[in-house]
């Protein structure tokens, strides 16, 4: 019953510790990707609502108890929030699964990782230190790490719980106050976690959540003159708009803008280990993952073997409802399904062979947004299928012969987020790790339990700045230098 109550209702903003409808009274429908059916509404917020949330955060920062709490006290609140997330794990997972369309077991993992973010940052809050700096005789100089102040954060629909929790956890650990704008397509878990934050002792106004359209509420937050820092996760195109809007007010940004991540299979790779990971890295969340391993670079000597073994795996994959325990769920929306179809049409027009494909379950609702996983190859490394972020369960196989060619292909896109290298040669693995331009390079693996402790971010069109791990605490704080002349 608790899950039904949490999901089927009208959700409102959380501003200054209280639920508030949009000032306009307008709402937005939220539908389940599995069947396209509306199951709740959220507030369609605008400038007035964002302004109210920013004012609440500013008041909490300057006059509330949050800024007077010790780092240890802040950490205890964050740690308790993590425990409350675990206590409400079933509710949050069901909510995330229905909201995003991802299989329930994947949503359960997301909520577990979310709790781990709060555990990690709760423990890290009192372990951020400044440093002393050798300087002229008669002077003492040292640095302090201080909060930016009010942080705005615009988060996407593919991993609202995980991305929301890593921003909230790190931002609160450093003493900031936050205004979060989740995606209108899926962000209910963030609203629920904000409610739990109040139960955990986070003071009113410290964490505010405002829902609405990106071009309305998101744009209002990005251009607001009274925020001190902004984080954004989404497409490069929208990221550019967000950065320009913030830049007008000289506000710093962290941008995570997706990728076209390669996995490199050398001839000596352990295929028994590699291939299950390769498959999971493209079907997780129906391929709607910024770090999805969407390009598979395969050494010429094992090309046919990999095709045979990988095709057999793809042909067993099934897409179905979020609650059907299938290999993958639907895409997030009709628009995303249409976008994916344009790439399928392009591949057909270019005569790129389909090596294997999964299926859509017969009992999957026709009104859902399903896409069967597809394996293409060989894919020309310069075509759109190998260059653009598709955000769907589509894997492009690309052959190579030499290390230098593999590096050239791996680096030959506008993105640089994550890469995987599969080889038994330790020297080669280190050469590849140094040569590939990506924010994370995995050796004989891809992913590490959510990567909570691991700095995450990209090069080039994948954005700038780092989230996760201790690096996020540095990103969401500012250095102040104190110089004392004492003789």
DSSP state of 329: -
Quick count: other Cβ atoms within 10 Å of Cβ 4?
A: 10
Q: Do residues 407 and 427 make contact, with C-beta atoms less than 8 angstroms apart? A: no
How far apart, in whole angstroms, are the C-alpha atoms of residue 430 and residue 453? 21
Q: What tokens appear for 353 in the block? A: 């062979």
| Backbone torsion region of residue 395, taken as left when φ is above 0, otherwise alpha when ψ lies between -120 and 50, otherwise beta | beta
Q: Do residues 329 and 319 make contact, with C-beta atoms less than 8 angstroms apart? A: yes
How far apart, in whole angstroms, are the C-alpha atoms of residue 465 and residue 418? 14
Quick one: which of 324, 316, 295, 318 has its CA closest to 370?
A: 318
Strand bridging mode 177-181 / 150-154: parallel
Quick one: which of 127, 374, 134, 392 has its CA closest to 258?
A: 392
Q: Residue 247 class from Cβ within 10 Å (0-12 exposed, 13-18 middle, 19+ buried)?
A: middle
Catalytic residue among 256, 389, 467, 475: 256
* Alpha-carbon dihedral angle through residues 210, 253, 151, 212, given to the nearest 10 degrees: 0
Peptide bond into 378 cis (omega under 30): yes
**How far, in whole angstroms, is CA 271 from its chain's centroid?**
28
Answer yes or no: 216 catalytic. Answer: no
* Alpha-carbon dihedral angle through residues 33, 39, 43, 46, given to the nearest 10 degrees: 30
Tell me the catalytic residues.
Answer: 256
């Amino acid at each position: 019953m608790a899950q039904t109550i949490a999901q089927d209702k009208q959700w409102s903003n959380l501003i200054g510790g209280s639920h508030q409808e949009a000032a306009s009274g307008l709402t937005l429908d939220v539908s389940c990707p599995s069947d396209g059916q509306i199951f709740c509404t959220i507030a369609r917020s605008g400038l007035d609502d964002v302004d109210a949330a920013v004012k609440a955060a500013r008041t909490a920062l300057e006059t509330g108890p949050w800024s007077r709490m010790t780092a240890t006290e802040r950490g205890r609140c964050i740690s308790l929030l993590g425990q409350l997330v675990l206590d409400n794990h079933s509710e949050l997972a069901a909510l995330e699964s229905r909201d995003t369309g991802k299989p329930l077991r994947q949503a359960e993992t997301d909520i577990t990782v979310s709790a781990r973010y709060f555990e990690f940052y709760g423990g890290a809050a009192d372990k951020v230190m400044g440093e002393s700096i050798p300087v002229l005789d008669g002077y003492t100089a040292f640095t302090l790490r201080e909060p930016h102040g009010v942080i705005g954060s615009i988060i996407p629909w593919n991993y609202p719980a995980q991305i929301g929790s890593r921003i909230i956890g790190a931002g609160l650990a450093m003493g900031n106050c936050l205004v979060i704008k989740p995606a209108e397509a899926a962000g209910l878990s963030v609203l629920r976690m904000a409610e739990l934050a109040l139960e955990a002792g986070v003071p009113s106004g410290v964490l505010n959540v405002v829902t609405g359209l990106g071009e309305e509420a998101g744009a209002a937050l990005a251009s607001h003159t009274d925020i001190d820092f902004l984080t954004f996760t989404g497409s490069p195109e929208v990221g550019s708009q967000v950065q320009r809007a913030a830049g007008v007010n000289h506000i710093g940004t962290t941008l995570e803008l997706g990728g076209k991540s390669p996995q490199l299979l050398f001839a000596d790779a352990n295929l028994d280990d590699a291939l299950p990971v390769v498959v999971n890295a493209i079907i997780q969340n129906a391929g709607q993952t910024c770090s999805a391993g969407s390009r598979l670079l395969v050494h010429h000597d094992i090309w046919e073997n990999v095709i045979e073994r990988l095709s057999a795996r793809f042909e067993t994959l099934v897409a179905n409802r979020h609650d059907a325990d299938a290999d993958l769920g639907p895409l997030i929306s009709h628009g995303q399904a249409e976008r994916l179809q344009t790439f399928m049409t392009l591949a057909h027009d270019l005569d790129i062979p389909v090596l294997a494909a999964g299926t859509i379950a017969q009992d999957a609702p026709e009104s859902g947004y399903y896409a069967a996983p597809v394996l293409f190859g060989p894919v020309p490394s310069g075509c759109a299928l190998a260059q653009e972020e598709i955000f769907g369960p589509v894997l492009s196989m690309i052959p190579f012969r030499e290390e230098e060619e593999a590096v050239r292909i791996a680096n030959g896109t506008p993105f640089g987020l994550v890469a995987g290298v599969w080889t038994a040669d330790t020297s080669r693995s280190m050469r590849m790790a140094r040569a590939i331009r990506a924010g994370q390079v995995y050796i004989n693996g891809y992913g590490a339990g959510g990567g909570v402790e691991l700095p995450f971010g990209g090069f080039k069109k994948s954005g700038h700045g780092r989230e996760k791990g201790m690096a996020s605490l540095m990103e969401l704080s500012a250095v102040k230098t104190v110089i004392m002349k004492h003789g």
